[in-house]
Structure 1
Amino acid sequence: MAAAAAATPPAAAAASPPLQEFSVAEERSGHCAVVDGGCLYVWGGYVSIEENEVYLPNDELWIYEIDSGLWSMHLMEGELPPSMSGSCGASVNGKLYIFGGYDDKGYSNRLYYVNLRTRNGTYLWKKITDFKGQPPTPRDKLACWVYKDRLIYFGGYGCRKQSELSDCFDVHDAYWGERIFWGWHNDVHVFDTTTQTWYQPKIKNGVPPQPRAAHSCTVLGNKGYVFGGRVLQKRMNDLHYLNLDTWVWSGKICTNGEKPGDRSWHTLTSVTDSKLFLFGGLSSDNVPLSDGWIYDVATNKWQQLKYLPKSIPRLWHTACLGKEGEVMVFGGSKDDLHFMDTGHCSDLLIFQTQPYSLLRLSLDCIGKMLHLALMDEAVLEQIKITNISLEVFLMIILADVWVKAANLCVEVLCL
């Protein structure tokens, strides 16, 4: 699950060409994704190959250019993180930070970053070791808020020593030989990116959410919202917020009217100054979900989007807000990962939650006409566009459509 700080990057000098162009990011779940400037960046996660879970290469950064609709892959260098799933990725001032996750050696509490606004085309990972303070205990499936150049982490599943047990930890299992305990967290940890300092804020008041993992977080104003997630065998549908200035929890928000069902592995995204967009996840009955909901802070109501197709369930995907108010959902699984871990996806789903600008509508029209002129009938049949309403529409971008269109453009330009 990812949070992104939207800031316009400075103009970059000409970068070296990517290793692979006009391809698509490989299918995956449990990855990290952020938007910075006009691009979506994807790293990590895992895929199933012949009933084995395989972590994707840790030196690959996939970049989706939003305006052109094209993917490219760049090899990364530096102090590479291990290949992982369940890490928490976020963007602050043009840098992608990843914390935590799970790899072949277990849970992580290491923090890495890479500058996405490179001027020479080289993406260089750096492991942060010269920090002050105490980082969180190792964990995965946590979430975070980005606020005032700080990364604010909440929850997750991981391990603790017996001496580290506290009220913010629900024990799931234990290995008594070494007195190691596994379970769910509801603690809050802050990393200040300007001072390279870890600290735990003093929560002054309010009732915190119970420990959980595979929940989703997003920032609206100075409030960090959290929805759902799992603890023990229970999945939840409660909504809370933490005031990120005063460190006061809201307690469970009692909303008006109907509301989303229990779920984990979903996403929650701020789409306007007063609305949140919830999508997908895994239900209490282990059913992959494809429903979408809008939460209006002003009315304290959830509204279900009635016309989303049921054929696109997603869980353990990522969702990022684009520059035109669109929510870009990438990857994830369409199957229950506990029982049939084969349905990883590489589709990019785009939810338009507010009207496009006139400039964007004009450019889209020109782009569609160009694609129609270049594509043959076989390619056209693969394009599926579903009009939902004046407020929301969903476009499913099939991977090889963009590849064929891009190759055709190159052929025409070479004539």
Structure 2
Amino acid sequence: MEINNWHKELTYDNWVPVAVSGARPPARYKHAAAVVDEKLYIAGGSRNGRNLSDVQVLDFRSLTWSSLRLKANDGKDDDISQEILPGISGHNMIRWREKLLLLGGSSRDSSDTLTVRYIDIERSQVGVIKTSGSVPVARVGQSATLVGSRVILFGGEDMGRKLLNDVHVLDLESMTWDMIKTTQTPPAPRYDHAAAMHGERYLLVFGGCSHSVFFNDLHLLDLQTMEWSQPQTQGDLVSPRAGHAGITIDESWFIVGGGDNKSGCPETLVLDMSKLVWSVLAVVKQKDPLSSEGLSICSAWIDGEKYLLAFGGYNGRYSNEVFVMRPKAKDFLRPKIFQSPAAAAAAASVSSAYALSKSEQLDFMQLDDTNSKSPINGLPQDDDIDKVEAIKEDKRLLELSIAEARAENSKLGGQIDEVNNTHTELTKELQSVQTQLAAERSRCFTLEAKIAELQKLLESMQSVEDQVQALRQKNSALDQELAATAQRQNSGGGWRWFGGSEK
């Protein structure tokens, strides 16, 4: 595909690897990513237990990677201390005006409280921003969600491996922290979850894990009342996961990757945040880089259209690939549950009932007008009585239709539940079979190795047998020679010679 028009040739709702030119950055996971002016910025991350301190930049136009050479700030700002970016992972990165803000994460110089760093991409400068107020404890694996000029921080794991479920707000104008007191039941303490804002009022938290449990629950925090709730969701089944990445476009929340320390999550999910309905948008192979923990996802405007960009991750090996998706407009992402025959029947039932109500009101208004003109003491005539009876009959038939539609809707709902249960069971069975196949493949590899060893042993044994056979032949020849010598001695020829000489 042409470099300048590579994005226009993409099909909708499919992940495609980006064919970049030149060298790629080191593979990694648990990094942070952001998009600024048609460039993807990747900061930090982890690889083989070592935190990285670089900032890599992908230009969408040329599809080339470059490194941002960082330097410490000049120290003229009293609220910013001088420092070069340390190796860091498990942090968040948010674009705020002309800077990229890095919140939290694990680094060699982690303090007791959460550190806010910045990267000035125009000046290639790095520094630490001094914050005030109720500064939260240092942590990794938290979520940081931008809403207006505030960042909502939730959960994570502190430096002592204590799991957290607290809520903090950072005012970016004053760089002041506030700890938020919430009511109702909060999510269980967790880290490596995903969070998003809906309507600048509701914070949604999905998935994550504790030290022993992986979650697939959805929680909602009303930022006006500061009340937690756990709403019921509909649509496709969602497996537990942690280390996934999420990004919102309008009413849609896209979730990519994640895993449960046993296998990665190959499906890309979409949550309709206004209807709370999950749907599976795309599925990749089990060992695909998109089925990884610790990957990142961003959205980018390119030529007036939004695209999704995913980078990195770990699923047994580290990735440095970039994948892009061209999502359909929101109207095309309508969940299947709202397009089912049962839903259509229910909608038709409501429309029919509404139309019936209006029709009855209109007909009876007309009857009232007719009755007021009746010459017989204002009583309805036979024709009017017939009309009323006909309307009642139509009403009865419509009520029967509504009842039938509701019954069909209930029946289809039961069938949907049954299909979903069957799908879940088949998925579990497939995973079990895949596990067995993996075990059998491992056994096959072991047996093949043993067979190869046995073949080598047989070959060496054949060589030994050939040597033994040669020795046997030599031994037989020696035996024959010894036998001939013994025969000559037994014939007495020597004694005759001596006896002959005496004569």
Q: Note whether the superposition's TM-score is higher than 0.5.
A: yes
Q: Secondary structure of the equivalent of 1:200?
A: strand
Name the structure 1 match of 2:63. 69
Contact 2:198 2:273 in 1 (8 A): no
- Residue number among 236, 255, 274 corresponding to 1:278 in the alignment: 255
Name the structure 1 match of 2:127. 126
Contact 2:34 2:298 in 1 (8 A): yes
CA drift at 1:54: 2.1
Name the structure 2 match of 1:103. 107
- Residue number among 284, 295, 300 corresponding to 1:317 in the alignment: 295
Contact 2:268 2:283 in 1 (8 A): no
Name the structure 1 match of 2:162. 183
CA drift at 1:282: 1.0
Contact 2:27 2:47 in 1 (8 A): yes
TM-score, L = length of structure 1: 0.66
Q: Take 1:325 and 1:209, find their aligned partners in 2: how far apart are those partners? A: 32
Name the structure 1 match of 2:204. 225
Query: Residues 107 and 212 of structure 1: is their aligned pair in 2 closer, same or farther, counting only changes over 3 Å?
Result: farther
Query: Residues 307 and 184 of structure 1: is their aligned pair in 2 closer, same or farther, counting only changes over 3 Å?
Result: closer
Q: Take 2:194 and 2:282, find their aligned partners in 1: how far apart are those partners? A: 22
Q: Take 1:318 and 1:101, find their aligned partners in 2: how far apart are those partners? A: 15
Alignment pair present for 1:93 and 2:97: yes
Contact 1:107 1:139 in 2 (8 A): no
Name the structure 2 match of 1:172. none
Query: Residues 355 and 147 of structure 1: is their aligned pair in 2 closer, same or farther, counting only changes over 3 Å?
Result: closer
CA drift at 1:219: 2.2
Name the structure 2 match of 1:299. 275
Q: Take 1:328 and 1:145, find their aligned partners in 2: how far apart are those partners? A: 18
Name the structure 2 match of 1:17. none
Q: Take 2:226 and 2:22, find their aligned partners in 1: how far apart are those partners? A: 46
Q: Percent identity?
A: 25
Q: Take 2:217 and 2:41, find their aligned partners in 1: how far apart are those partners? A: 30
Q: Secondary structure of the equivalent of 1:234?
A: coil
CA drift at 1:246: 4.2
CA drift at 1:140: 0.5
CA drift at 1:306: 4.8
Structure with greater Cα Rg:
2
Q: Deviations over 1:31-58 (max 9, x none)?
A: 111112211111101212xxxx2222x2
CA drift at 1:243: 2.9
**1:10-409 alignment runs, 5 A limit:** 22-48=22-48, 53-56=49-52, 58=53, 60-78=54-72, 79-104=83-108, 109-116=114-121, 118=122, 122-129=123-130, 131-159=131-159, 182-203=161-182, 205-222=183-200, 223-249=202-228, 251-271=229-249, 273-283=250-260, 286-312=262-288, 313-323=291-301, 324-335=305-316, 343-354=317-328
**Gapped regions of structure 2 (runs ≥ 5):** 1-20, 73-82, 331-503
Larger strand percent: 1
TM-score, L = length of structure 2: 0.55
Larger helix percent: 2
Q: Secondary structure of the equivalent of 1:302?
A: strand
| Superposition RMSD in Å | 2.1
Q: Which amino acid aligns with 2:258?
A: G
Contact 1:327 1:350 in 2 (8 A): yes
Query: Residues 154 and 254 of structure 1: is their aligned pair in 2 closer, same or farther, counting only changes over 3 Å?
Result: same
Q: Take 2:167 and 2:34, find their aligned partners in 1: how far apart are those partners? A: 22
Q: Secondary structure of the equivalent of 2:69?
A: strand
CA drift at 1:327: 1.5
Q: Deviations over 1:215-263 (max 9, x none)?
A: 11122321222110011300000112223444332x1121113321001
Name the structure 1 match of 2:446. none
Q: Deviations over 1:180-219 (max 9, x none)?
A: x53110111111111121111333x443211100111122
Give the number of equivalent residue pairs: 293
Q: Take 1:76 and 1:287, find their aligned partners in 2: how far apart are those partners? A: 37
**Gapped regions of structure 1 (runs ≥ 5):** 1-20, 160-180, 336-342, 357-415
Q: Which amino acid aligns with 1:351?
A: M
